[in-house]
Amino acid sequence: QENNYQPVQNDSQPDNSPYDNNRSNNGAEQNNDPTPPTTTVKPAVTNPPTTTTPKPQITVPQTEPPEVVIEDTTNLQSVLNYVNSLGRTTDEYYNIGAGLSHDGSDYGKAEAVYNWIQNNVSGNCQVFSVATMYACKGIGLECRYAFFSPDDWYGHMANLVNVDGAWYVFDTQGGRFLKSDKYGDITRIFDESDITIDISVSESAY
Protein backbone atom coordinates (compact mmCIF):
# COMPACT_ATOMS: atom_id res chain seq x y z
CA GLN A 1 0.00 0.00 0.00
CA GLU A 2 1.00 3.37 -0.68
CA ASN A 3 1.87 5.28 2.37
CA ASN A 4 -0.05 8.49 2.27
CA TYR A 5 1.47 9.65 5.49
CA GLN A 6 3.23 13.00 5.15
CA PRO A 7 5.05 14.58 7.95
CA VAL A 8 3.54 17.65 9.35
CA GLN A 9 5.42 20.66 8.03
CA ASN A 10 6.27 23.48 10.30
CA ASP A 11 3.70 26.15 9.96
CA SER A 12 5.28 28.74 7.82
CA GLN A 13 2.94 31.35 9.20
CA PRO A 14 4.34 33.08 12.17
CA ASP A 15 2.63 32.54 15.38
CA ASN A 16 1.25 35.35 17.33
CA SER A 17 4.04 35.53 19.82
CA PRO A 18 5.07 39.00 20.76
CA TYR A 19 8.50 38.37 19.40
CA ASP A 20 7.25 37.54 15.93
CA ASN A 21 4.75 40.35 15.91
CA ASN A 22 7.58 42.74 16.22
CA ARG A 23 9.31 41.54 13.13
CA SER A 24 8.58 42.42 9.54
CA ASN A 25 9.15 40.27 6.51
CA ASN A 26 12.77 41.32 6.34
CA GLY A 27 13.36 40.43 9.94
CA ALA A 28 13.39 44.00 11.31
CA GLU A 29 11.56 44.59 14.52
CA GLN A 30 8.22 46.23 14.06
CA ASN A 31 5.67 47.29 16.63
CA ASN A 32 2.31 45.91 15.52
CA ASP A 33 0.77 46.37 18.92
CA PRO A 34 -2.50 48.12 18.26
CA THR A 35 -2.25 49.86 21.64
CA PRO A 36 -0.44 53.19 21.11
CA PRO A 37 2.55 53.72 23.34
CA THR A 38 2.03 55.85 26.36
CA THR A 39 3.99 59.10 26.05
CA THR A 40 4.41 61.35 29.01
CA VAL A 41 4.27 64.91 27.76
CA LYS A 42 5.67 67.58 30.02
CA PRO A 43 3.14 70.30 30.55
CA ALA A 44 3.98 73.47 28.71
CA VAL A 45 5.51 75.99 31.02
CA THR A 46 4.01 79.37 30.45
CA ASN A 47 6.31 82.05 31.76
CA PRO A 48 4.59 85.15 32.99
CA PRO A 49 5.05 88.07 30.68
CA THR A 50 8.23 89.90 31.35
CA THR A 51 7.47 93.30 32.67
CA THR A 52 10.20 95.89 32.80
CA THR A 53 9.80 98.23 35.67
CA PRO A 54 10.98 101.59 34.45
CA LYS A 55 13.69 103.10 36.54
CA PRO A 56 12.47 106.10 38.41
CA GLN A 57 13.54 109.29 36.79
CA ILE A 58 15.92 111.10 39.07
CA THR A 59 15.43 114.78 38.76
CA VAL A 60 18.50 116.70 39.77
CA PRO A 61 17.38 120.01 41.11
CA GLN A 62 18.94 122.91 39.35
CA THR A 63 20.97 124.68 41.97
CA GLU A 64 21.03 128.37 41.70
CA PRO A 65 24.31 130.06 42.53
CA PRO A 66 24.29 131.30 46.09
CA GLU A 67 22.95 134.76 46.37
CA VAL A 68 25.65 137.22 47.23
CA VAL A 69 24.39 139.37 50.03
CA ILE A 70 26.14 142.68 50.07
CA GLU A 71 25.64 144.32 53.39
CA ASP A 72 24.51 147.91 53.34
CA THR A 73 27.64 149.42 54.85
CA THR A 74 26.07 152.69 55.92
CA ASN A 75 27.15 152.56 59.55
CA LEU A 76 30.32 151.64 61.34
CA GLN A 77 29.09 148.31 62.70
CA SER A 78 28.14 147.08 59.23
CA VAL A 79 31.58 148.13 57.96
CA LEU A 80 33.25 146.20 60.79
CA ASN A 81 31.13 143.14 59.95
CA TYR A 82 32.17 143.46 56.32
CA VAL A 83 35.87 143.74 57.14
CA ASN A 84 35.74 140.82 59.60
CA SER A 85 34.19 138.60 56.91
CA LEU A 86 37.12 139.10 54.51
CA GLY A 87 39.91 137.30 56.34
CA ARG A 88 41.75 139.12 59.09
CA THR A 89 39.55 140.41 61.87
CA THR A 90 39.83 143.63 63.83
CA ASP A 91 41.37 141.64 66.70
CA GLU A 92 44.06 140.35 64.36
CA TYR A 93 44.86 143.86 63.14
CA TYR A 94 45.14 144.96 66.78
CA ASN A 95 47.58 142.12 67.54
CA ILE A 96 49.59 142.88 64.40
CA GLY A 97 49.95 146.51 65.49
CA ALA A 98 51.03 145.43 68.96
CA GLY A 99 53.77 143.29 67.42
CA LEU A 100 55.27 145.85 65.04
CA SER A 101 58.79 147.01 65.80
CA HIS A 102 59.45 150.78 66.17
CA ASP A 103 61.70 153.24 67.93
CA GLY A 104 59.20 154.15 70.62
CA SER A 105 58.25 157.58 69.24
CA ASP A 106 54.79 158.45 67.92
CA TYR A 107 56.32 159.09 64.54
CA GLY A 108 58.07 155.70 64.57
CA LYS A 109 54.81 153.98 65.54
CA ALA A 110 52.90 155.76 62.77
CA GLU A 111 55.58 154.85 60.25
CA ALA A 112 55.52 151.17 61.29
CA VAL A 113 51.72 150.98 60.95
CA TYR A 114 51.71 152.84 57.63
CA ASN A 115 54.35 150.61 56.06
CA TRP A 116 52.72 147.37 57.22
CA ILE A 117 49.25 148.39 56.00
CA GLN A 118 50.65 149.50 52.63
CA ASN A 119 52.38 146.14 52.13
CA ASN A 120 49.77 143.75 53.52
CA VAL A 121 46.22 145.09 53.13
CA SER A 122 44.05 145.14 50.03
CA GLY A 123 40.48 146.15 49.35
CA ASN A 124 38.48 149.33 49.44
CA CYS A 125 39.06 152.38 51.60
CA GLN A 126 36.82 151.00 54.35
CA VAL A 127 39.06 147.94 54.74
CA PHE A 128 42.19 150.11 54.88
CA SER A 129 40.62 152.50 57.36
CA VAL A 130 39.45 149.78 59.77
CA ALA A 131 42.79 147.93 59.56
CA THR A 132 44.63 151.19 60.24
CA MET A 133 42.41 152.03 63.21
CA TYR A 134 43.01 148.70 64.98
CA ALA A 135 46.71 148.49 64.13
CA CYS A 136 47.13 151.98 65.63
CA LYS A 137 45.23 150.95 68.76
CA GLY A 138 47.51 147.90 69.05
CA ILE A 139 50.70 149.90 68.71
CA GLY A 140 49.52 152.64 71.07
CA LEU A 141 48.50 155.56 68.83
CA GLU A 142 45.31 157.59 69.09
CA CYS A 143 43.36 157.17 65.87
CA ARG A 144 40.02 158.30 64.44
CA TYR A 145 37.95 157.69 61.32
CA ALA A 146 37.28 160.48 58.84
CA PHE A 147 35.19 161.03 55.71
CA PHE A 148 36.74 163.04 52.91
CA SER A 149 33.75 163.53 50.64
CA PRO A 150 30.10 164.54 50.97
CA ASP A 151 29.09 160.97 50.07
CA ASP A 152 30.04 159.73 53.56
CA TRP A 153 30.02 155.88 53.53
CA TYR A 154 30.02 155.75 49.74
CA GLY A 155 32.75 158.33 49.40
CA HIS A 156 36.32 158.18 50.70
CA MET A 157 37.12 157.02 54.22
CA ALA A 158 40.51 157.28 55.92
CA ASN A 159 41.95 158.12 59.35
CA LEU A 160 43.40 160.81 61.55
CA VAL A 161 46.24 159.96 63.91
CA ASN A 162 47.68 161.86 66.86
CA VAL A 163 51.45 162.27 66.66
CA ASP A 164 53.19 164.28 69.37
CA GLY A 165 49.95 166.04 70.35
CA ALA A 166 48.80 167.06 66.86
CA TRP A 167 46.25 165.36 64.59
CA TYR A 168 47.26 164.47 61.04
CA VAL A 169 45.56 162.96 58.03
CA PHE A 170 46.61 159.30 57.89
CA ASP A 171 45.38 157.82 54.61
CA THR A 172 46.99 154.39 54.20
CA GLN A 173 45.07 153.58 51.02
CA GLY A 174 45.58 156.97 49.37
CA GLY A 175 49.27 157.16 50.24
CA ARG A 176 48.99 160.20 52.53
CA PHE A 177 51.31 159.91 55.53
CA LEU A 178 50.83 162.55 58.26
CA LYS A 179 49.33 165.22 56.01
CA SER A 180 47.48 168.40 56.84
CA ASP A 181 43.74 169.08 56.63
CA LYS A 182 44.41 170.78 53.28
CA TYR A 183 44.51 167.28 51.77
CA GLY A 184 40.76 167.37 51.26
CA ASP A 185 37.49 168.47 52.67
CA ILE A 186 36.92 166.50 55.87
CA THR A 187 33.15 166.14 56.20
CA ARG A 188 32.99 164.09 59.38
CA ILE A 189 35.33 162.76 62.09
CA PHE A 190 34.17 159.95 64.37
CA ASP A 191 35.51 157.44 66.86
CA GLU A 192 35.26 153.63 67.10
CA SER A 193 31.78 153.97 68.61
CA ASP A 194 30.55 155.87 65.53
CA ILE A 195 30.20 159.05 67.58
CA THR A 196 30.98 162.28 65.75
CA ILE A 197 33.73 164.26 67.43
CA ASP A 198 35.29 167.68 66.86
CA ILE A 199 39.01 167.61 66.18
CA SER A 200 41.25 170.35 64.85
CA VAL A 201 43.58 168.90 62.25
CA SER A 202 47.06 170.28 61.70
CA GLU A 203 47.27 172.79 58.89
CA SER A 204 50.70 171.57 57.87
CA ALA A 205 52.17 168.15 57.23
CA TYR A 206 54.43 166.55 59.80
Tell me the CA distances in angstroms from 48 to 51, 55, 155, one per residue in order. Answer: 9, 20, 80
Residue 53 lies in a domain: no
Helix (H) or strand (E) holding 107: helix 106-120
- The CATH number linked to 103 is 3.10.620.30
Structurally, how many domains does the chain consist of? 1
Determine, yes or no, domain membership for 110: yes
Domain range enclosing 145: 76-190
Residue 82: inside a domain: yes
Any domain includes 83 = yes
Q: What is the pTM of this model?
A: 0.66
* 179 domain-assigned: yes
Q: Decide if 201 is inside a domain.
A: no
Distance CA 141, CA 170 (A): 12
167 within 8 A of 160, measured Cβ to Cβ: yes
Q: Is the pLDDT of residue 117 over 60?
A: yes
Rg (CA), the chain: 56
Q: Indicate whether 44 belongs to any domain.
A: no
Segment 61-110, tens digit of pLDDT? 566 665 555 567 889 999 999 999 998 999 999 999 999 999 999 999 99
Q: What is the pLDDT of residues 134-190, one digit of tens each?
A: 999 999 999 999 999 888 888 999 999 999 999 999 999 999 999 998 766 899 999
Query: Does residue 27 fall inside a structural domain?
Result: no
Residue 31 is predicted with a pLDDT of 52
pLDDT score at 181:
83
